[in-house]
Structure 1
């Protein structure tokens, strides 16, 4: 387990809430009742904070807005499109609405649209096998083939398990192909960390994120301040990005 994964799991709202409640119970039995109260309140407050849609819209929306989404035809030309493995909230259109396969858009769909808009002649897919024997990169290549992207326009990088390795191993492939100018495709939430890592590697990178997902839904009755289990569950992805940015900065990767 990486340091960023450990810290993320540690501060996930439900994990931290339960941990602090257990600590509070032990302190209460040790007659440290005032301290126990504050520890328990901190755990419950942390979970409550992340259960509010307003918290996700503020913390996650801030990251998504650092690199605004643009239509494929509005993007500049580049030598290649680099797609990073992973998904956010099952690729659903909006974090606060149920999953709908008819509206779900993955980052590989974004890459295909960029290619068909003639933004670059090559797509590099990056990601190792996280579960099973088939790498994320291969799965993305298969998806591109289903969208009529020719196989000779796709390069597979299947060794990377982290965003840092995405950049490290992709840059090796870029150097072999004499490519230095790329469009980076990933989720809007993940884009700040991805761009920072690739720029640190000396690549001339332009952000081409998938459409933002942490936006106010159009349905009536949506409340910013009503606790929402879907917001609580999705908070893991937001926390992961902030922890990742901190750890990558400490390690000199960004």
Structure 2
């Protein structure tokens, strides 16, 4: 397990809450009762904080707004479109609402729209096989074919398991073709880290994020301050981005 993965799994709200409650129980048993209550309270507070929609809107929304969404037709042309594998909140249209396949918008759809708007003549799909034998790049290439994107316009990078590797291996392929100007496609939440690593690899990247997901729903019963299990479960994506930015900065990858 990498350092980034370890830290991310450790500070995921539910995981850290359980770990601190267990630590509190042990401290209580060994009669460090005041410390035990403090540790347990810290764990419960961490989980409570991330169960509040207001917390996701503040922390996650801040990342999404660093590279605001733009209509594909308003973006500049480039030499290639690069789309990264992965999914944030199951590509839901809204972070706080149930998954609906009819309204879900995967990253690959954004890349297809950009291609059809003649923003670039080539799409690079990047991502290894996280499970099984079929890479994310191949899955995305298949999805593009279903949207009538010609196979000749798709280039696959199937070695990368992390955002850092996405940038390294994709940059290698692009530089072989003398391509440096790209439109970078990923989720709005993931875009700050993705842009930083691609620029570190010498790419001239323009952010072309999918539409933001961490937005206030139209449901009149929605409450900013009522604990929400969906918000708690999805908060791991926000935590992952903040930990990833820290680790990537420490390691000199951004």
What TM-score range do you get, normalising by the shorter chain?
A: over 0.9
Q: Give deviations 1:87-121, integer Å, cap 9, x for gaps.
A: 01110100100111111101000000000000000
CA–CA separation in structure 1 for the residues paired with 2:115 and 2:244: 29
TM-score (norm 1): 0.99
Deviation at 1:3, TM superposition (A): 1.1
Q: Does 1:103 align with 2:103?
A: yes
- Secondary structure at the aligned position of 1:189 is classed as coil
- Aligned counterpart, 2:46: 46
- Aligned counterpart, 1:197: 197
- Aligned counterpart, 1:23: 23
**Consecutive unaligned residues in structure 2, runs of 5 or more:** none
- Secondary structure at the aligned position of 1:137 is classed as helix
- Secondary structure at the aligned position of 1:83 is classed as strand
**Consecutive unaligned residues in structure 1, runs of 5 or more:** none
CA–CA separation in structure 1 for the residues paired with 2:178 and 2:252: 26
Deviation at 1:2, TM superposition (A): 1.5
Q: Count the aligned residue pairs.
A: 254
Deviation at 1:30, TM superposition (A): 1.0
CA–CA separation in structure 2 for the residues paired with 1:92 and 1:24: 37
Deviation at 1:214, TM superposition (A): 0.3
Q: Give deviations 1:49-89, integer Å, cap 9, x for gaps.
A: 00000000000000000000001101100000000000011
**Considering only aligned residues, what root-mean-square deviation do their CA atoms show, in Å?**
0.5
- Secondary structure at the aligned position of 1:224 is classed as coil
Q: Give deviations 1:127-152, integer Å, cap 9, x for gaps.
A: 00000000000000000000000000
Q: Does 1:218 align with 2:218?
A: yes
CA–CA separation in structure 2 for the residues paired with 1:117 and 1:109: 12
CA–CA separation in structure 2 for the residues paired with 1:163 and 1:175: 18
- Displaced runs of 4+ in structure 1, greater than 6 A? none
Deviation at 1:29, TM superposition (A): 1.0
CA–CA separation in structure 2 for the residues paired with 1:4 and 1:190: 15
CA–CA separation in structure 2 for the residues paired with 1:117 and 1:88: 24
- Aligned counterpart, 1:68: 68
TM-score (norm 2): 0.99
- Aligned counterpart, 1:154: 154
CA–CA separation in structure 1 for the residues paired with 2:14 and 2:161: 26
Q: Give deviations 1:162-218, integer Å, cap 9, x for gaps.
A: 000000000000011110100000000000000000001111000000000000001
Q: Give deviations 1:18-59, integer Å, cap 9, x for gaps.
A: 111111111111111110110000000000000000000000
CA–CA separation in structure 2 for the residues paired with 1:3 and 1:84: 21
